[in-house]
Amino acid sequence: MRGLEAAVGALEVRLLPPLQRAADEPHLAAIRAAIQPTFYVLIAGTVIAFFMLPREDVFAQFLDAYHVGFGAMGVALTILLANHLALRFGYNQAAAILLSFAAFGISLPRPIPHDPLVLLGNLSASSLFLALIVSLATGEFLRWSHRLIRNRSLAIAAAAIAASIFFGGIAAALSPSHLSIADVALGIIKPLVGVGDTLPALLLVVFLQVLLWSAGVHGPAFLAAITTPVFLAAIDQNGQAIIHHQQPEHIVTITLFVFIFLGGSGATISLNLMMLGSKIPRLRKLGMASLLPSFLNINEPLIFGIPLVMNPSLTIPFVVVPLLLASVTYGAMWFGLVNKTTVFLPGALPAPIAAWLTTSTGHGDWRAVLLHGDWRAVVLVFVNFAITFVCYLPFYRTFEEAVRQAPATEEQLVKTAEAIREHELEVERHPERQPHEIPPDEPLR
């Protein structure tokens, strides 16, 4: 055990500080801040589209509405990412949004459908990847123009000209082939979905997410630029397969993590339940306060409260347990023991309910949908929970005993976690305070 803890400690000292610095990199921080709110746009877009796409089959109508909602996410990300990049690099936000949105429009397939629902449905999850391309590219044009041109109005004009030439030129070059930049983005997404739909890729994503969290870095948000477009595209394709009465193809989707991160990143639901019987008052109270959030798969109170951040005693199960659950879940779906996921659901939905709904194959009205979930998926959730309990128990007992014998060590861990959390919150609250390269506005001489 001591050897493992020493290895984890060495990993945290040598690897995690660079990862923490990478998390503060302005482009990654902007993506992290921008991509989370787009899920609210997904929900709103899905609800609106659901009532505007009447079909006899309610489940098919729901999946088609999600198809449109994914497209709406990309439009929202174009605006939000441009805004967050402008905040972090200090150039004009309105100009950044307009320029990014214009580039997005240039990149759309021609002719553009008059019905916005058709347009968004055609883009679907590929719109996220397109939004990342145009927002980051236009942001770089603005950043470099401000570095080279002191007058801000001229810098914005120069960036607009450069972006028009760049995106317009690519669009014109693709036009004879009846392709658009959006089509190219979709072409990039397809092989990424195939690569992501493998067990090694899943294990790599899970490992990086929990490793980053153990350093206090929001792992899913850190990887969002790559994983969100790919895993959303996978579940969208599964949903469309169900509509057309075909078998879903992809195992690794954004909803697969319902089975892996029980109680939140690190699969800490069993750890939370163990804390309810702790002989240490602080851990027992924290367990009670965190119980409801854990059932809703929210475990930041535990990550920064126990803490799990920079905690060698609990880092091992925090990293290893999700890898075990990912392997078990992937195997169950690979061998056809459990239906593949077909519907994106909010992460705050309790795992047994989410597992039932996302594996439903019902067609027709809501009753058919609700009654045709896969009961085996619910069983898999409880099997995974048992695995988490067995794996966490010895490490938790060791940690609890260490806390009883050396409370000062725990206090230092808590202070370190609080400092990391405060840093993260400060970056989120005041992105404009981050150092940037844009000089103050100066008149032409």
Q: CA-to-CA distance for 104 and 392, rounded, in angstroms?
A: 47
Highest mean pLDDT of the ranges 22-31, 49-58, 60-69, 94-103: 94-103
Which is higher by pLDDT, 439 or 263? 263
**Average pLDDT in the 85-91 region?**
91
DSSP states along 45-70: HHHHHHHHS--S-HHHHHHHHHHHHH
Q: For the whole model, what pTM was predicted?
A: 0.84
Mean pLDDT of the chain: 85
Does the pLDDT value for residue 367 go beyond 70? no
Res 406: pLDDT: 73
Does the pLDDT value for residue 422 go beyond 80? no
Q: C-alpha distances in angstroms, 138 versus 84, 149, 162? A: 13, 16, 9
Which is higher by pLDDT, 442 or 386? 386
Res 387: pLDDT: 96
Res 84: pLDDT: 94
Integer-rounded Cα radius of gyration of the chain: 24
pLDDT tier for residue 442 given thresholds of 50, 70 and 90 = very low
Region of 179 (left: φ > 0; alpha: ψ -120 to 50; beta: rest) is: beta
Res 77: pLDDT: 95
Does the pLDDT value for residue 307 go beyond 80? yes
Res 292: pLDDT: 92
DSSP states along 367-378: HHHHHTS-HHHH
CA angle 52, 258, 34 (to 5 degrees): 60
Does the pLDDT value for residue 114 go beyond 60? yes
Helix/strand/coil for 345: coil
CB 149, CB 91: distance < 8 Å: no
